[in-house]
Structure 1
Amino acid sequence: MTTNDVTEARGTDRRPPTLVFVHGTNSSSTLATGLISELTLRGHRAVAVDLPGHGRDAFYPRSYQAPQDLEGLATEPSPLSKITIDDYVEHVVDVVRRARRHGPVILAGASQGGVTVSRVGNAIPELLERVVYVAAYCCVDLPSLSAYLETPENAGSLLANVTGAIAADPAALGVARVNWRTADPERIDGIRECLAGGFTDRQMGHLLAMLEPDETAAIPLTEARGQAHTWGRIPRTYVRFTLDRLIPPALQDRFIAEADRLTPDNPTDVRSVAAPHVGPFDLPELVDIFAELAGR
């Protein structure tokens, strides 16, 4: 199938689509397990990918294990320091190409996963039926994720509650190393307030156990803008999380507005779910949204 064939086929290929889901920072496909399972049980094709250095390839420093060696945690090298956004994009492009052999592909990303979604959309717009941002960074006017952290719309973010748990200098190690295994109850409550407002202690324990300590530090600084002539051709949906304290709703709305100004003939399909930043992603209303998009 040629590029032109695929472009012409968007919206006309009657085979069921495959949802490809990209996780966010310090995370893995595990956080989307519930969503993928629910969609599969409803008869949809869905897969969550592990980006390079995550999931089965995640790195857990020896100093991260109990009893923790905090001095070692601040200095122990990480293989993720050599991973770049190009590695993420190459991996997801390969997954999309394989899935596209069997029908249309919907590419979704959560949080920092939105950077990868936009870059993949720039690279292979003809292979994507739709892109979906789930409380995700969707950079358009400003060049990088980090640039949006300085905007007025981000003023309500509680990101500092998480960065306060960073155990090493990202500039020195090349990774953002978060000590999710901290025993400090105030730190845990701060992380909960930022990422998981309303989670019970048991839910919070599960979340902290699933998160991974290391994330390549370069991603927030990388060029992340969707381009009008590539990414801008793809139908897109933005799922707003109205209880998000990491990416405030005001910043999510800015992403939507910027995208719509860039491509006025391709406006964003906007949905809203009353959820904190990490969902969970198997919330019935979120599953319903993806089931509807997959069933179009």
Structure 2
Amino acid sequence: MQPTFVLVHGAFANSFSFAPLQAELGLLGHRSVAVDLPGHGFAATYPRAYQAPQDPEGLATAPGAIKGVTLADNVAHLIGILERAKRNGPVILVSHSRGGMTATVAANQRPDLIDRIVYVSAWCPVDLDVSSYYAEPEMATVDAAGLASAMVGNPAELGVLRVNFRTADPGVLAAFKAAFLADGTDDEFLAFLNTFQPDETLDAGTPDDRARPDSWGQIPRTYVRLAEDTSIPPAMQDRMIREGDALTPDNPYDVRTLAGSHLKWLVDPAQAARVLGEVAALLPAGS
């Protein structure tokens, strides 16, 4: 039976990010559904102050609908989608970047709904919680100042992480491009940047949200490395793989590598779609 790819986006992103990939998957004969986590996509908040001409003071104080949304809310939403997808056959859960946190907890809670889990340069915490990984040596090359320089307002007061992706500051834009799509054209970069939403949840998970060997660890899994990623560097991606393999050595990752940056596989998705097709072929016959 044909599997369904369930695609989970990363921070400040939404289901729109996956449109080119879904087109490629569809042309290869694969079924997919792209998820909007709570407060994302058409449920996102774009304050009037975010529009040109921007109002910096208003942007720093305007409320956002994503305030109060937790990782648990994301997981519950995703499980609901997985339940519906599973009625139609096997499910391959694919997550990118911060979406890996949601996918991991969903797999902890409902491994019965997932036939294979795929991480594409995504967080799968095993030894530490995600926030703690940022202080580890593998993340030393990440330019955190670039994103921080575009942050707006006080997250503790706003109740959200808010970033001004519509800034005209050339230095900030250059930092964004280096972090997300250094191997893309300027036009590709700006087009993708305009799909981002300004608000993201504050909840980055706890030690209780790490992968569990008796549930998550029993699901066949694939890790797709992005070889030129500067947001989650290959060294950290490799650490995620090593930790997962050490947790369940009898069920190691199937590891694939794609050339490109954090977002290039979404901008130019033909190779990624072929890799996912190869992953689908790993499902047992009759699944």
Q: TM-score, normalised by structure 2?
A: 0.95
Deviations 1:2-36 (A, max 9, x none): xxxxxxxxxxxxx1110000000000011111111
- Structure 2 residue 133 is the aligned partner of structure 1 residue 133: no
Aligned partner of 1:162 among 141, 147, 163: 147
Deviations 1:153-188 (A, max 9, x none): 111112331222111221221111010000011110
Report which stretch shifted further, 195-204 or 157-166. Answer: 157-166
Deviations 1:202-237 (A, max 9, x none): 111101110000001113557431100010000111
C-alpha deviation, 1:254, in angstroms? 0.5
- Asked whether the 8 Å contact 1:244–1:277 carries over to 2, the reply is yes
- Asked whether the 8 Å contact 1:243–1:277 carries over to 2, the reply is yes
Residue of structure 1 equivalent to 2:239: 254
* 1:189-268 superposed matches below 5 A: 189-219=174-204, 223-268=208-253
Residue of structure 2 equivalent to 1:33: 19
Aligned partner of 1:113 among 84, 96, 99: 99
* Distance in 2, Cα, partners of 1:263 & 1:42: 33
C-alpha deviation, 1:87, in angstroms? 1.1
Residue of structure 2 equivalent to 1:76: 62
Letter in structure 2 aligned against 1:229: D
- Structure 2 residue 50 is the aligned partner of structure 1 residue 64: yes
Letter in structure 1 aligned against 2:150: A
- Structure 2 residue 89 is the aligned partner of structure 1 residue 103: yes
Aligned partner of 2:39 among 34, 50, 53: 53
- Structure 2 residue 261 is the aligned partner of structure 1 residue 276: yes
Paired residues in the alignment total 281
- Structure 2 residue 142 is the aligned partner of structure 1 residue 185: no
* Distance in 2, Cα, partners of 1:44 & 1:228: 30
% identical equivalent positions: 46
C-alpha deviation, 1:80, in angstroms? 0.8
* Distance in 2, Cα, partners of 1:292 & 1:254: 24
* Distance in 2, Cα, partners of 1:268 & 1:279: 23
- Asked whether the 8 Å contact 1:29–1:55 carries over to 2, the reply is yes
Letter in structure 2 aligned against 1:217: L
Cα distance change, pair 159–220 in 1 and its aligned pair in 2 (3 A)? farther
* Distance in 1, Cα, partners of 2:19 & 2:144: 25
* 1:9-24 superposed matches below 5 A: 15-24=1-10
* Distance in 2, Cα, partners of 1:263 & 1:45: 30
Deviations 1:58-97 (A, max 9, x none): 1111211111111111111212111111111111101111
Cα distance change, pair 222–195 in 1 and its aligned pair in 2 (3 A)? farther
Q: TM-score, normalised by structure 1?
A: 0.92
* Distance in 1, Cα, partners of 2:134 & 2:208: 15
* Distance in 2, Cα, partners of 1:160 & 1:260: 32
* Distance in 2, Cα, partners of 1:56 & 1:222: 31
RMSD after superposition: 1.2
Residue of structure 2 equivalent to 1:93: 79
Q: Which runs of 5+ in 1 are unaligned?
A: 1-14
- Asked whether the 8 Å contact 2:229–2:262 carries over to 1, the reply is yes
Report which stretch shifted further, 29-38 or 219-228. Answer: 219-228
* Distance in 2, Cα, partners of 1:278 & 1:221: 26
- What SS does the aligned partner of 1:272 have? strand
Deviations 1:260-283 (A, max 9, x none): 000000001111111111123243
Report which stretch shifted further, 280-289 or 92-101. Answer: 280-289
Q: Which runs of 5+ in 2 are unaligned?
A: 283-287
* Distance in 2, Cα, partners of 1:156 & 1:100: 40
